[in-house]
């Protein structure tokens, strides 16, 4: 059945709106994004914008639905690779997708504590369904990796799940990007290593120091001195409720200081 022209035009406009919202949330965060700014960038009147999305919270929910859909599509691509991949490798690929999305400025950032936003998100059936699907599928990979011994079985699965979700709003990645010293692949590899392998050297290995550090690496004090100042951000789930097995967490949730505070 052919979609009527008016309906197609509505969908195109809403896609354009969500594109702008997604970028602004990734760049500025929820607290500093305004509906006026979204309307101006899309090129429509604020009243017209409200015909598509009833509130700022609804705009944020639409952006979260978009990123969850992309995450599930990435999981499909990873699972349907030509050669079967073990669970730990699938988790590595998904983490890399998450970091790449953050690096490219396409990961929306939401505050950890906002009652109005939480109310809209928890009432959004599409958002909740996608979030549960993503958590269940990641949970399956995690428990599979724990069974084969590639992920520690001593950790509750939800700890591993939330650790992976936290990488979607990891402040280390934008700081390393802003330093201009490292390639995206270097950043992805190092952060993946710290996530899955930790910071300790392997048993019997040597710890690099200033004299034998890897090419391009700098002493921590010198590297930190060249990094731009950035506020410390904390994040958390946007929903107070959680399913019995693996509690879902949005791919990105940040607590930022309000511009009026």
Q: What sign does the dihedral 212-214-219-222 (CA atoms) show?
A: positive
Q: Considering the domain boundaries, does residue 33 fall inside one? A: no
pLDDT value at position 113?
86
pLDDT value at position 260?
42
For residue 2, what are the β-bridge partners? none
Q: Considering the domain boundaries, does residue 69 fall inside one? A: yes
Domain count of the fold of the chain: 1
Q: Considering the domain boundaries, does residue 134 fall inside one? A: yes
Helix (H, G, I), strand (E, B) or coil at 82: coil
Give the phi and the psi of residue 213 in degrees, each rounded to 5: -65, 155
Q: Considering the domain boundaries, does residue 51 fall inside one? A: no
Tell me which residue range forms the domain holding 179. Answer: 61-198+222-226
pLDDT value at position 58?
96
pLDDT value at position 201?
81
pLDDT value at position 221?
43
Q: Considering the domain boundaries, does residue 146 fall inside one? A: yes
Classify residue 169 by its DSSP letter.
G
Q: Considering the domain boundaries, does residue 30 fall inside one? A: no
pLDDT value at position 243?
39
The CATH number of the domain holding residue 83 is: 1.10.357
Q: Tell me the average confidence (pLDDT) per consecutive run of 10 residues in the chain, 261 residues long.
A: 80 94 94 96 95 96 96 96 91 97 93 91 96 97 97 96 94 96 97 93 54 42 43 40 46 46 42
pTM, to two decimals: 0.77
CA 32-35-38 angle, 5° bins: 90
Classify residue 204 by its DSSP letter.
T
Nearest to 23 by CA among 43, 8, 37: 37
Q: Considering the domain boundaries, does residue 250 fall inside one? A: no
Q: Considering the domain boundaries, does residue 190 fall inside one? A: yes
pLDDT value at position 204?
53
């Amino acid at each position: 059945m052919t979609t009527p022209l008016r309906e197609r035009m509505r969908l195109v406009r809403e896609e354009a709106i969500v594109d702008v919202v997604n970028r602004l949330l990734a760049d500025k965060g929820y607290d500093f994004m305004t509906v006026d700014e979204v309307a101006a960038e899309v090129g429509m009147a604020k009243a017209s914008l409200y015909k598509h999305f009833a509130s700022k919270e609804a705009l944020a929910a639409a952006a979260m639905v978009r990123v969850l859909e992309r995450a599930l599509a990435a999981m499909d691509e990873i699972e349907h690779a030509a050669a079967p991949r073990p669970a730990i490798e699938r988790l590595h690929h998904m983490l890399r997708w998450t970091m790449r999305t953050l690096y490219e400025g396409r990961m929306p950032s939401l505050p950890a504590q906002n009652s109005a936003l939480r109310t809209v998100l928890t009432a959004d059936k599409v958002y909740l369904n996608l979030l549960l699907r993503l958590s269940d599928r990641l949970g399956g990979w995690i428990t599979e990796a724990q069974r084969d011994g590639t992920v520690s079985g001593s950790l509750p699965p939800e700890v591993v799940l939330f650790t992976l979700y936290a990488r979607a709003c990891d402040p280390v990645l934008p700081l390393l990007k802003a330093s201009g010293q490292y390639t995206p692949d270097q950043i992805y590899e190092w952060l993946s290593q710290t996530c899955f392998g930790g910071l300790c050297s392997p048993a019997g290995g040597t710890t690099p120091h200033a004299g034998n550090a890897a090419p391009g690496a700098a002493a921590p004090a010198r590297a930190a001195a060249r990094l731009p100042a950035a506020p410390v951000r904390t994040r958390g789930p946007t929903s107070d409720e959680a399913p019995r097995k693996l509690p879902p967490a949005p791919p990105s949730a940040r607590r930022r200081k309000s511009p009026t505070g």
